[in-house]
Copies of this chain bind each other. A is one copy, B any other.
């Protein structure tokens, strides 16, 4: 891997995807997301042997949205361990991320921790062990990213709360099945805030690097997750991390990844590198259109993927 010129590859990708930035649709369900210019594009890559590369708007912070679900899943696995799986499944859903249908057919057990209903249950687990779950999530994100000024975007959080009827429906639906222990409004409050974390590509690549390195952060030497947890989080990202386009992403890209409607995608190849790409316009599945293409080019040009 040391013979690969990652910087040149990233620059080639940035040039090649430029025309694609005109395609797709920027998320517009809240004003703070809708006003992000569609021509933004950033990409950052960190290798397990300690090198880092970046291109474009790689230092601009954006709303990471569902990417934060990997942070909370990690916290919940550390807190609840295998008991988490009594309350949430780990199968791809085959349905949109905020669907209530499968939840009803499966009696209140969300299909996996990355659909919205599953993320609410994950937060509920975290809340068992802390009085200030938002602070715990923030502390984790700051430490993982090595960026002590990472914070929630309170405007985004407030907008999410104001327009979050579907998530409010999900939380009350979970509550009706007894699969939410804490007050629905309290869980939702944390949910809306943790979706509003703002990080840059460079920070996110750093924050996910331990997942490419058996759980240990090359930068700090700290074991963020155990080898077993690492393998499992990667498996969950690969099978459930890209909404209802996981098969397509595995087929085209071949990395374990997690996307957010803010246009970010973080992905890892175990033993090799973590990478984050950001471009706000989305494809029909809600994943960054140019971002997916950039990652596909990356695996094609480096010849590195998990398959």
Contacts and interface: CB of A to CB of B under 8 A. Distances in A.
Given A100-B104, A101-B104, A235 B307 contact: yes
Contact of A91 (B102, B103, B246): B246
Interface string A225-253: 00000111011101110001111101100
A175 to B, nearest CB: 4
B169 A307 contact: no
Contacts of A101: 100-101, 104-105
Interface in A259-307: 270, 305-307
Contact of A172 (B168, B234, B247): B168
Question: For the complex formed by this chain, how many copies does it contain in all?
Answer: 4
A8 interface: no
A89 interface: yes
Nearest to A306: B306
A304 to B, nearest CB: 11
Interface in A63-105: 89-95, 99-105
A205 interface: no
A184 B235 CA distance: 38
Contacts of A238: 238-239, 250, 307
Contact of A94 (B94, B168, B171, B245): B94
A256 interface: yes
Is the contact region of chain A dominated by helix, strand, or loop, or is it mixed?
Answer: helix
Contact of A173 (B112, B169, B232, B240): B169
Q: On chain A, which size bracket covers the interface?
A: 35 or more
B94 A93 contact: yes
Contacts of A169: 100, 168-173, 175-176
A16 to B, nearest CB: 18
A254 interface: yes
Given A92-B92, A239-B247, A246-B91, A230 B307 contact: yes
A166 interface: yes
A15 B166 CA distance: 50
A258 interface: no
A247 B240 CA distance: 8
A111 interface: yes
Contacts of A184: 165, 168
A90 B89 CA distance: 21
Nearest to A228: B300
5 nearest A-B pairs in the assembled complex, by CB-CB distance = A94-B94, A165-B176, A91-B247, A169-B172, A234-B307
22 contacts: A90-B251, A91-B94, A91-B245, A92-B92, A92-B247, A93-B94, A94-B94, A100-B101, A100-B103, A100-B173, A101-B101, A101-B104, A165-B172, A168-B184, A169-B172, A169-B176, A235-B247, A238-B239, A239-B239, A239-B246, A256-B307, A270-B307
